[in-house]
Amino acid sequence: MIDTIYVEEGVATHPLTESILGRFRDAVTVPVTRYGEVFNRNHQSLRLQKAKPSLILAEKLGNQVLPAPEGYGIGSGKNFYFSHVLNCLCDCRYCFLQGMYRSAHYVLFVNYEDFQETIASTLDADPDQDVYFFSGYDGDSLALDAITGFVDSFVPLFARHPRAFLELQTKSATIRSLLQHEPGDNVVVAFSFAPNAAGKALEHGVPPLEARVSAMQKLTERGYRLGLRFDPLLYTTGYREQYQELFEAIFPRLEIASLHSVSFGPFRVPRDYFQRMAKLYPEERLFAGIEPSGPMVSYPPELEAEMRSYCEAELKLFVPAEILFPCRV
Ligand code: SF4
Protein backbone atom coordinates (compact mmCIF):
# COMPACT_ATOMS: atom_id res chain seq x y z
CA MET A 1 0.00 0.00 0.00
CA ILE A 2 2.87 2.39 0.87
CA ASP A 3 5.94 2.25 -1.38
CA THR A 4 7.79 5.31 -0.17
CA ILE A 5 8.14 6.72 3.33
CA TYR A 6 9.72 10.12 3.87
CA VAL A 7 11.12 10.54 7.36
CA GLU A 8 12.00 13.83 8.99
CA GLU A 9 15.46 13.64 10.53
CA GLY A 10 14.11 14.85 13.89
CA VAL A 11 11.83 11.84 14.30
CA ALA A 12 14.02 9.19 12.67
CA THR A 13 14.48 7.38 15.98
CA HIS A 14 11.04 8.07 17.44
CA PRO A 15 9.45 4.79 18.62
CA LEU A 16 6.41 5.25 16.38
CA THR A 17 8.64 5.90 13.36
CA GLU A 18 10.65 2.77 14.10
CA SER A 19 7.53 0.69 14.55
CA ILE A 20 6.03 1.89 11.23
CA LEU A 21 9.27 1.41 9.33
CA GLY A 22 9.50 -2.07 10.82
CA ARG A 23 6.11 -2.92 9.35
CA PHE A 24 6.87 -1.50 5.90
CA ARG A 25 10.28 -3.09 5.41
CA ASP A 26 9.91 -3.11 1.62
CA ALA A 27 9.17 0.60 1.38
CA VAL A 28 11.86 2.98 0.18
CA THR A 29 12.80 5.33 3.02
CA VAL A 30 13.85 8.86 2.16
CA PRO A 31 15.23 11.23 4.82
CA VAL A 32 14.01 14.84 4.73
CA THR A 33 14.71 17.83 6.93
CA ARG A 34 11.10 19.05 7.12
CA TYR A 35 7.96 17.53 5.65
CA GLY A 36 7.25 20.69 3.65
CA GLU A 37 10.05 19.64 1.29
CA VAL A 38 7.77 16.99 -0.18
CA PHE A 39 4.29 18.00 0.93
CA ASN A 40 2.22 20.83 -0.43
CA ARG A 41 4.85 22.18 -2.80
CA ASN A 42 3.79 23.99 -5.93
CA HIS A 43 3.80 22.09 -9.20
CA GLN A 44 2.70 18.79 -7.67
CA SER A 45 -0.12 16.84 -9.28
CA LEU A 46 -2.59 15.94 -6.60
CA ARG A 47 -4.54 13.75 -9.01
CA LEU A 48 -1.44 11.74 -9.91
CA GLN A 49 -0.30 11.44 -6.31
CA LYS A 50 -3.77 10.19 -5.27
CA ALA A 51 -3.05 7.04 -7.27
CA LYS A 52 0.03 6.22 -5.17
CA PRO A 53 0.44 8.44 -2.13
CA SER A 54 3.53 8.23 0.03
CA LEU A 55 3.69 8.44 3.79
CA ILE A 56 5.57 11.24 5.50
CA LEU A 57 6.56 10.84 9.14
CA ALA A 58 7.02 14.22 10.72
CA GLU A 59 6.99 16.19 13.94
CA LYS A 60 4.26 18.68 14.75
CA LEU A 61 6.07 21.68 16.16
CA GLY A 62 3.70 23.80 18.28
CA ASN A 63 -0.01 24.44 17.77
CA GLN A 64 -0.77 20.79 18.42
CA VAL A 65 -4.22 21.81 19.67
CA LEU A 66 -6.16 24.72 18.20
CA PRO A 67 -9.49 26.39 19.00
CA ALA A 68 -12.24 24.98 16.78
CA PRO A 69 -13.82 27.45 14.35
CA GLU A 70 -16.94 29.13 15.70
CA GLY A 71 -20.05 27.03 15.12
CA TYR A 72 -18.05 23.81 14.92
CA GLY A 73 -18.92 22.35 18.32
CA ILE A 74 -21.73 20.14 19.43
CA GLY A 75 -23.71 21.79 22.24
CA SER A 76 -21.84 23.15 25.19
CA GLY A 77 -18.28 23.24 26.40
CA LYS A 78 -15.11 24.63 24.91
CA ASN A 79 -14.11 23.23 21.54
CA PHE A 80 -10.67 22.47 20.18
CA TYR A 81 -9.32 20.36 17.37
CA PHE A 82 -6.10 18.57 16.69
CA SER A 83 -4.70 16.80 13.65
CA HIS A 84 -2.23 13.98 14.03
CA VAL A 85 -2.64 13.25 10.33
CA LEU A 86 -2.98 15.42 7.22
CA ASN A 87 -4.85 14.00 4.24
CA CYS A 88 -6.95 10.94 3.82
CA LEU A 89 -7.12 7.50 2.24
CA CYS A 90 -10.46 8.42 0.69
CA ASP A 91 -11.11 10.84 -2.08
CA CYS A 92 -14.36 12.73 -1.58
CA ARG A 93 -14.80 15.26 -4.32
CA TYR A 94 -16.47 17.80 -2.06
CA CYS A 95 -13.80 17.56 0.64
CA PHE A 96 -12.02 20.82 1.34
CA LEU A 97 -8.74 18.92 1.75
CA GLN A 98 -8.58 18.71 -2.04
CA GLY A 99 -8.44 22.47 -2.17
CA MET A 100 -6.34 22.97 0.93
CA TYR A 101 -3.38 20.75 0.05
CA ARG A 102 -1.47 20.51 -3.19
CA SER A 103 -0.23 17.05 -2.30
CA ALA A 104 -1.99 13.74 -1.73
CA HIS A 105 0.74 12.26 0.48
CA TYR A 106 -0.25 11.37 4.02
CA VAL A 107 1.56 13.27 6.74
CA LEU A 108 1.63 11.56 10.11
CA PHE A 109 2.87 13.57 13.08
CA VAL A 110 4.42 10.89 15.25
CA ASN A 111 5.06 13.00 18.36
CA TYR A 112 1.82 11.93 20.01
CA GLU A 113 3.33 12.69 23.42
CA ASP A 114 3.34 16.43 22.58
CA PHE A 115 -0.29 16.32 21.43
CA GLN A 116 -1.21 14.55 24.66
CA GLU A 117 0.63 17.04 26.86
CA THR A 118 -1.06 19.92 25.07
CA ILE A 119 -4.49 18.29 25.42
CA ALA A 120 -3.89 17.88 29.17
CA SER A 121 -2.71 21.48 29.61
CA THR A 122 -5.61 22.83 27.51
CA LEU A 123 -7.98 20.94 29.78
CA ASP A 124 -6.28 22.27 32.91
CA ALA A 125 -6.66 25.81 31.63
CA ASP A 126 -10.46 25.39 31.73
CA PRO A 127 -11.11 23.70 35.05
CA ASP A 128 -14.83 24.51 35.28
CA GLN A 129 -16.30 23.02 32.15
CA ASP A 130 -16.23 20.14 29.72
CA VAL A 131 -13.72 20.52 26.93
CA TYR A 132 -14.21 18.91 23.52
CA PHE A 133 -11.32 17.83 21.35
CA PHE A 134 -12.19 17.04 17.75
CA SER A 135 -9.96 14.79 15.72
CA GLY A 136 -10.47 14.35 12.01
CA TYR A 137 -10.49 17.93 10.81
CA ASP A 138 -7.53 17.59 8.42
CA GLY A 139 -8.03 13.91 7.59
CA ASP A 140 -10.13 10.95 8.65
CA SER A 141 -9.56 9.93 12.30
CA LEU A 142 -9.73 6.18 11.78
CA ALA A 143 -9.04 5.40 8.11
CA LEU A 144 -5.28 5.08 8.66
CA ASP A 145 -5.51 3.71 12.19
CA ALA A 146 -3.92 0.38 11.28
CA ILE A 147 -0.75 2.35 10.51
CA THR A 148 -0.98 5.20 12.99
CA GLY A 149 -2.08 3.35 16.15
CA PHE A 150 -3.94 6.54 17.01
CA VAL A 151 -6.80 4.86 18.88
CA ASP A 152 -4.46 2.81 21.07
CA SER A 153 -2.61 5.96 22.08
CA PHE A 154 -5.45 8.43 22.56
CA VAL A 155 -8.49 6.53 23.84
CA PRO A 156 -6.66 5.54 27.07
CA LEU A 157 -5.63 9.19 27.54
CA PHE A 158 -9.24 10.31 27.57
CA ALA A 159 -10.15 7.50 29.97
CA ARG A 160 -7.90 9.31 32.45
CA HIS A 161 -9.59 12.68 31.80
CA PRO A 162 -13.37 12.25 32.04
CA ARG A 163 -13.99 16.02 31.67
CA ALA A 164 -12.35 15.95 28.25
CA PHE A 165 -14.40 14.67 25.32
CA LEU A 166 -12.79 13.13 22.28
CA GLU A 167 -14.71 13.11 19.03
CA LEU A 168 -13.29 10.83 16.36
CA GLN A 169 -14.70 11.89 13.02
CA THR A 170 -14.72 9.27 10.34
CA LYS A 171 -16.16 7.84 7.18
CA SER A 172 -14.30 4.61 7.66
CA ALA A 173 -15.34 1.29 9.20
CA THR A 174 -11.93 0.68 10.80
CA ILE A 175 -12.99 -0.08 14.36
CA ARG A 176 -10.86 -3.06 15.35
CA SER A 177 -8.77 -1.06 17.83
CA LEU A 178 -11.77 0.70 19.28
CA LEU A 179 -13.39 -2.63 20.08
CA GLN A 180 -10.36 -3.57 22.12
CA HIS A 181 -10.74 -0.62 24.48
CA GLU A 182 -13.13 -0.05 27.32
CA PRO A 183 -15.27 2.82 26.06
CA GLY A 184 -15.71 5.85 28.25
CA ASP A 185 -18.74 8.13 28.04
CA ASN A 186 -16.40 10.84 26.85
CA VAL A 187 -15.34 9.19 23.59
CA VAL A 188 -17.70 9.82 20.69
CA VAL A 189 -17.23 8.10 17.36
CA ALA A 190 -18.87 10.33 14.78
CA PHE A 191 -19.70 8.86 11.37
CA SER A 192 -20.58 11.10 8.48
CA PHE A 193 -22.87 10.08 5.66
CA ALA A 194 -24.11 11.28 2.32
CA PRO A 195 -27.06 9.81 0.39
CA ASN A 196 -26.27 6.66 -1.54
CA ALA A 197 -26.33 8.14 -5.05
CA ALA A 198 -24.19 11.15 -4.10
CA GLY A 199 -21.88 8.92 -2.09
CA LYS A 200 -21.29 6.56 -5.00
CA ALA A 201 -20.54 9.42 -7.35
CA LEU A 202 -18.47 11.57 -5.03
CA GLU A 203 -17.00 9.53 -2.16
CA HIS A 204 -14.24 7.47 -3.74
CA GLY A 205 -12.73 4.91 -1.41
CA VAL A 206 -15.35 5.31 1.30
CA PRO A 207 -16.71 1.94 2.55
CA PRO A 208 -20.33 1.18 1.67
CA LEU A 209 -23.04 2.49 3.97
CA GLU A 210 -23.81 -1.09 5.01
CA ALA A 211 -20.27 -1.61 6.40
CA ARG A 212 -20.36 1.62 8.33
CA VAL A 213 -23.78 0.98 9.85
CA SER A 214 -22.56 -2.46 10.87
CA ALA A 215 -19.47 -0.83 12.45
CA MET A 216 -21.75 1.52 14.35
CA GLN A 217 -23.84 -1.36 15.63
CA LYS A 218 -20.74 -3.16 16.89
CA LEU A 219 -19.50 -0.03 18.63
CA THR A 220 -22.89 0.42 20.30
CA GLU A 221 -22.82 -3.17 21.53
CA ARG A 222 -19.36 -2.46 22.94
CA GLY A 223 -20.77 0.58 24.76
CA TYR A 224 -19.48 3.48 22.65
CA ARG A 225 -21.45 6.64 22.14
CA LEU A 226 -21.98 7.58 18.53
CA GLY A 227 -22.35 10.74 16.54
CA LEU A 228 -23.94 11.13 13.14
CA ARG A 229 -22.85 13.89 10.83
CA PHE A 230 -24.81 14.81 7.72
CA ASP A 231 -22.33 17.38 6.65
CA PRO A 232 -22.10 18.67 4.02
CA LEU A 233 -25.69 18.42 2.86
CA LEU A 234 -25.38 17.75 -0.87
CA TYR A 235 -27.88 19.05 -3.37
CA THR A 236 -29.39 17.04 -6.20
CA THR A 237 -32.84 17.50 -7.70
CA GLY A 238 -34.02 14.46 -5.76
CA TYR A 239 -32.30 15.42 -2.51
CA ARG A 240 -35.48 15.13 -0.44
CA GLU A 241 -36.11 11.49 -1.33
CA GLN A 242 -32.39 10.71 -1.10
CA TYR A 243 -31.98 12.08 2.41
CA GLN A 244 -35.23 10.42 3.47
CA GLU A 245 -33.87 7.09 2.20
CA LEU A 246 -30.56 7.69 3.94
CA PHE A 247 -32.15 8.43 7.31
CA GLU A 248 -34.38 5.38 6.96
CA ALA A 249 -31.35 3.21 6.16
CA ILE A 250 -29.56 4.34 9.31
CA PHE A 251 -31.76 5.29 12.25
CA PRO A 252 -34.04 2.23 12.55
CA ARG A 253 -30.90 0.10 12.83
CA LEU A 254 -29.33 2.04 15.68
CA GLU A 255 -30.20 2.38 19.32
CA ILE A 256 -31.18 6.02 19.57
CA ALA A 257 -30.12 6.04 23.25
CA SER A 258 -26.54 5.35 22.14
CA LEU A 259 -26.42 8.53 20.08
CA HIS A 260 -24.48 11.38 21.57
CA SER A 261 -25.38 13.89 18.86
CA VAL A 262 -26.63 14.27 15.31
CA SER A 263 -25.56 17.26 13.27
CA PHE A 264 -26.13 18.57 9.79
CA GLY A 265 -24.50 21.37 7.90
CA PRO A 266 -24.28 23.06 4.54
CA PHE A 267 -21.72 22.63 1.78
CA ARG A 268 -19.28 25.43 2.45
CA VAL A 269 -15.73 25.83 1.23
CA PRO A 270 -13.35 28.80 1.25
CA ARG A 271 -13.30 30.44 -2.15
CA ASP A 272 -9.67 29.73 -3.02
CA TYR A 273 -10.03 26.06 -2.04
CA PHE A 274 -13.14 25.79 -4.17
CA GLN A 275 -11.37 27.25 -7.18
CA ARG A 276 -8.59 24.69 -6.83
CA MET A 277 -11.09 21.84 -6.41
CA ALA A 278 -13.03 22.88 -9.50
CA LYS A 279 -9.80 23.14 -11.50
CA LEU A 280 -8.70 19.71 -10.32
CA TYR A 281 -11.93 18.05 -11.41
CA PRO A 282 -13.47 20.31 -14.08
CA GLU A 283 -15.79 17.50 -15.17
CA GLU A 284 -17.34 17.19 -11.70
CA ARG A 285 -21.05 18.01 -11.79
CA LEU A 286 -21.02 18.87 -8.11
CA PHE A 287 -19.32 22.15 -8.97
CA ALA A 288 -21.60 23.10 -11.83
CA GLY A 289 -23.80 26.07 -11.10
CA ILE A 290 -22.02 27.07 -7.91
CA GLU A 291 -20.64 30.54 -8.31
CA PRO A 292 -18.12 31.83 -5.80
CA SER A 293 -19.24 35.11 -4.29
CA GLY A 294 -17.49 36.41 -1.19
CA PRO A 295 -14.89 34.52 0.81
CA MET A 296 -16.93 31.30 1.13
CA VAL A 297 -18.60 29.22 -1.56
CA SER A 298 -21.93 27.57 -0.86
CA TYR A 299 -25.29 26.92 -2.45
CA PRO A 300 -27.55 29.95 -2.94
CA PRO A 301 -28.94 31.03 0.47
CA GLU A 302 -32.57 30.10 -0.33
CA LEU A 303 -31.55 26.60 -1.43
CA GLU A 304 -29.31 26.14 1.59
CA ALA A 305 -32.10 27.25 3.94
CA GLU A 306 -34.57 24.94 2.23
CA MET A 307 -32.23 21.93 2.53
CA ARG A 308 -31.45 22.66 6.16
CA SER A 309 -35.08 23.04 7.07
CA TYR A 310 -36.14 19.89 5.20
CA CYS A 311 -33.39 17.74 6.72
CA GLU A 312 -33.94 19.13 10.21
CA ALA A 313 -37.66 18.28 10.05
CA GLU A 314 -36.88 14.77 8.79
CA LEU A 315 -34.20 14.19 11.42
CA LYS A 316 -36.64 15.20 14.15
CA LEU A 317 -38.77 12.23 13.15
CA PHE A 318 -35.95 9.97 14.32
CA VAL A 319 -34.07 11.72 17.11
CA PRO A 320 -34.95 14.07 19.98
CA ALA A 321 -34.31 17.76 19.34
CA GLU A 322 -31.89 17.92 22.31
CA ILE A 323 -29.26 15.94 20.42
CA LEU A 324 -29.81 17.60 17.05
CA PHE A 325 -27.35 20.35 16.13
CA PRO A 326 -27.18 22.51 13.03
CA CYS A 327 -23.55 23.05 12.10
CA ARG A 328 -22.85 26.63 11.12
CA VAL A 329 -19.21 26.56 10.05
S1 SF4 B 1 -13.33 10.70 4.23
FE2 SF4 B 1 -13.54 12.74 5.12
S3 SF4 B 1 -11.46 13.54 5.20
FE4 SF4 B 1 -11.43 11.79 3.81
S5 SF4 B 1 -11.69 12.68 1.76
FE6 SF4 B 1 -13.72 12.08 2.53
S7 SF4 B 1 -14.54 13.94 3.52
FE8 SF4 B 1 -12.32 14.23 3.26
**CA–CA separation, 63 vs 67, rounded Å?**
10
Percent of the chain clearing pLDDT 70 (strictly above): 96
Report, as an integer, the average pLDDT of 64-75. 82
3-state secondary structure (DSSP) of residue 82: strand
The band of 329, judged by pLDDT with boundaries at 50, 70 and 90, is low
The band of 307, judged by pLDDT with boundaries at 50, 70 and 90, is very high
So what's the pLDDT on residue 69? 83
Q: Which domain holds residue 150?
A: 60-326
In this prediction the pTM is: 0.94
So what's the pLDDT on residue 137? 86
Q: Is 37 inside any structural domain?
A: no
Q: Is the peptide bond before 270 cis (omega within 30 degrees of 0)?
A: no
CATH of the domain at 86: 3.80.30.30
Report, as an integer, the average pLDDT of 66-74. 81
User: 100, 206, 234, 277: which to mutate for ligand 1, most atoms within 8 A of CB?
Assistant: 206
Query: How many folded domains does the chain comprise?
Result: 1
Q: Is 25 inside any structural domain?
A: no
Average pLDDT over the chain, rounded to an integer: 92
Count of CB atoms situated within 10 Å of the CB of 21: 16
Q: Is 16 inside any structural domain?
A: no
30 CA → ligand 1 middle, Å: 27
Q: Is 46 inside any structural domain?
A: no
* Per-residue pLDDT tens digits for 86-144: 999 999 999 999 889 889 999 999 999 999 999 999 999 999 899 999 998 899 999 99
User: 47, 81, 83, 90: which to mutate for ligand 1, most atoms within 8 A of CB?
Assistant: 90
